[in-house]
A and B are shown apart, each in its own frame.
Chain A
């Protein structure tokens, strides 16, 4: 079983729509959680960390459910510039400092 699983999509949504991505992780010992964004032909970049109480950054909201071992990302009022691949990332520090990446969810925002 993969450490992190995501629906690869693609998600095609109109501008202004709200879209949500989910991600599940298999190891309950996971300690830190992140969403990364990767644009075409670029490196992955941190979008936001995910905290236990949930956190918001502008139009983006991240949630963590430790009991069910899933992470979500909500994007409100989608912009064309949100088109990218969104990667769910989980970090376990008890076995070193290993980061586990999901395969990514592709989002295209359509005018």
Chain B
């Protein structure tokens, strides 16, 4: 299995631009998570999906952030318009649903820099 795949790996953009991050979870995993990590705030859960349905989006910072999961093998996190304070590493993770001690597997992350 290729693991969780994220693209792009690095993104540099200017303030005000739209940014779209992409994630392909591990095949067969029912849960997908988007996290943001910064030095100041650590790892923060933004949103997670079970069976393609958003379950908890309370971590999404504001309306500029949106996430979709149109099918079991693809999800996007969009920031529009982007701001310098959005600069962070964005991780996608997936997990099986319903099993004891089933764990999460992280993608390599997207390093976003908003100038």
Contacts of B31 in A (CB 8 A): 97
Residue B71 lies at the interface, judged by CB distance under 8 Å to chain A: no
Interface residues of A in 79-111 (CB under 8 A from B): 87, 89, 91, 93, 96-99, 101, 103-104
Interface residues on B, range: 20 to 34
A31–B100 alpha-carbon span in the complex (Å): 7
CB atoms of B102 and A96 under 8 A apart: no
Contacts of B104 in A (CB 8 A): 46, 89, 99
A76–B98 alpha-carbon span in the complex (Å): 34
Q: Which A residues are closer than 8 A to B by beta carbons?
A: 31-32, 34, 42-46, 49, 51, 87, 89, 91, 93, 96-99, 101, 103-104
Q: Which B residues are closer than 8 A to A by beta carbons?
A: 30-31, 33, 42-43, 45, 48, 50, 55-56, 91, 95, 97-98, 100-109
